[in-house]
């Protein structure tokens, strides 16, 4: 019996040792590792935009990319309405702030082509009988405004600072190029307030309200159906209904609702979508609103009276990057909304971005004339120019 038990023990110990040796010598079992998802360049661009939206405190934004007059990318990010969880889409209307300026400048160039206006017309001659009203202050005609300019400049600060209409001859082109302060034509100083004077120029020379001119010459022909001014009241009502809500960072963090009332002018006030602005972009490329010659004049940087190249053309910023011309504009309504359009005419590329907070423009000092201060612009240039995401 003892011998039998001893034999069993030897058997089990031997079996255990052999099993361990076999297990130790066996090749390791292959582990299945999850492969990282490989994104195509457009997906990478989309992913980076979403990361930047969050990083720069933008609740919702819409972006479109055009190549050779075709929309190759358009989509929304985040929310147009946080409270009701309404997503931003390519058809979300936004206030576009100073992206209105290229539209306003195009209207003026159209009037120049129709011989109703010259860029070298004096503001005093055109607006001599035009009344001005700002808050509690008014002026009966441009000459009266200039008489009161020192008092108004004190009240309005930098908006009218060094605007020498009481001593110097200021031309339409000086307002269009932001060179109307100081000695006219001598230096660039971005001033949206003085750009609004051009609304009165357009109205006086055409005999029509500025919103009528926008609808007649741009919005209706291009079927911009989600834009204000609108083709009709029904379109306007629908656009307002779906317009993005605006937000700012609250005192305790997080987003809170914001408002930024603004009247329509050549400087600001339009509402639109990236899809509708894309229609305008294509029409400009095709010379459908103004001639190629007029467009090229708009896209040419201003030369100061001292021969210095300035960062602004006629209603557009203009600069070069690695020998490539970039034509662009930004919009900025503090604590409310922001926008950007960047064109690369040589490559037939355009990016349009609209946002429902000021995060797409705040802190980038874009008024100084360098679009590459914007991380959104740098991303576009890096993806589509430097690395050629869209092949030429």
Going from the first residue of the chain to its last (392 residues), give the mean pLDDT of each consecutive group of 10, the final group possibly shorter.
42 46 48 59 94 98 98 98 98 99 99 98 96 82 85 69 92 98 97 96 98 98 98 96 97 93 96 99 98 98 98 99 97 98 97 98 98 98 80 48
Q: Please report the pLDDT score of residue 136 as a whole number.
A: 76
Within a domain: 24: no
- What is the predicted pLDDT for the residue at 138? 85
357 within domain boundaries: yes
Task: Tell me whether residue 103 is in a domain.
Answer: no
> Would 249 be classed as within a structural domain?
yes
SS3 206: helix
Q: Decide: 267 and 98 in contact? Cβ < 8 Å.
A: yes
Residue 362: inside a domain: yes
What's residue 155's pLDDT?
Answer: 64
pTM of the model as a whole: 0.88
Structural domain span for residue 362? 41-95+225-386
Please enumerate in sequence order all residues whose Cβ is within 8 A of that of 13, keeping only pairs 6 or more positions apart, or say none: none
Q: Per the domain annotation, does 179 fall within a domain? A: no
What pLDDT does 185 receive? 98
Flag whether 14 is in a domain: no
* Residue 115 per-residue DSSP state: T
Tell me, yes or no, whether 105 lies in a domain: no
Nearby residues of 204 by Cβ (< 8 Å), 6 or more positions away:
126, 127, 130
CA distance 8 to 261: 94
Question: Where is 145: in which H helix or E strand?
Answer: helix 142-147
| Residues whose CB falls within 8 Å of the CB of residue 117, separated by 6 or more in sequence, listed in order | 108, 111, 126, 172, 201, 202, 205
What total of structural domains would you count in the chain? 1
- Report the C-alpha gap between 350 and 99 in whole angstroms: 14
> What is the 8-class DSSP label of residue 231?
S
Q: Distance between CA 127 and CA 107 in Å, rounded? A: 17
Question: In this structure, what CATH number is given to the domain that contains residue 367?
Answer: 3.40.710.10
């Amino acid at each position: 019996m003892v011998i039998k038990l001893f034999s069993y023990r030897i058997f089990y110990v031997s079996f255990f040792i052999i099993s361990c040796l076999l297990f130790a010598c066996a090749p390791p079992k292959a582990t299945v590792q999850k492969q990282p998802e490989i994104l195509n360049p457009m997906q990478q661009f989309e992913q980076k935009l979403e990361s930047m939206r969050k990083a720069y405190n933008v609740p919702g934004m819409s972006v479109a990319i055009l190549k050779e007059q075709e929309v190759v990318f358009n989509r929304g990010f985040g929310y147009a309405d946080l409270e009701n969880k309404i997503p931003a889409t390519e058809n979300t209307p936004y206030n576009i702030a100073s992206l209105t300026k290229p539209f306003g400048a195009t209207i003026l160039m159209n009037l120049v082509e129709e011989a109703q206006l010259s860029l070298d017309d004096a503001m005093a001659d055109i607006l001599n009988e035009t009344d001005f009203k700002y808050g509690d202050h008014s002026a009966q005609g441009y000459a009266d405004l200039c008489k009161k300019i020192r008092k108004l400049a004190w009240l309005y600060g930098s908006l009218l600072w060094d605007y020498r209409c009481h001593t110097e001859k200021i031309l339409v082109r000086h307002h269009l190029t932001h060179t109307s302060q100081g000695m006219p034509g001598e230096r660039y100083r971005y001033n949206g307030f003085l750009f609004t004077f051009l609304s009165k120029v357009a109205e006086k020379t055409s005999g029509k309200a500025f919103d009528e001119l926008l609808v007649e010459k741009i919005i209706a022909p291009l079927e911009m159906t989600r834009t204000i001014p609108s083709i009709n009241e029904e379109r306007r009502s629908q656009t307002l209904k779906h317009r993005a809500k605006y937000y700012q960072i609250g005192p305790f963090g997080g987003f809170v609702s914001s408002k930024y009332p603004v009247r329509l002018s050549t400087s600001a006030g339009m509402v639109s979508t990236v899809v509708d602005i894309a229609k305008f972009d294509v029409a400009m490329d095709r010379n459908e609103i103004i001639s190629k010659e007029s467009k090229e004049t708009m896209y040419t940087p201003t030369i100061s009276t001292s021969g210095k190249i300035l960062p602004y053309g006629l209603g557009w910023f203009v600069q070069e990057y690695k020998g490539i011309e970039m034509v662009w504009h930004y919009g900025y309504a503090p604590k409310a909304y922001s926008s950007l359009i960047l064109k690369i005419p040589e490559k037939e590329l355009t990016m349009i971005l609209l946002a429902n907070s000021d995060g797409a423009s705040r802190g980038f000092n874009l008024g100084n004339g360098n679009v590459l201060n914007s991380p959104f612009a740098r991303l576009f240039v890096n993806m589509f120019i430097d690395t050629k995401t869209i092949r030429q």
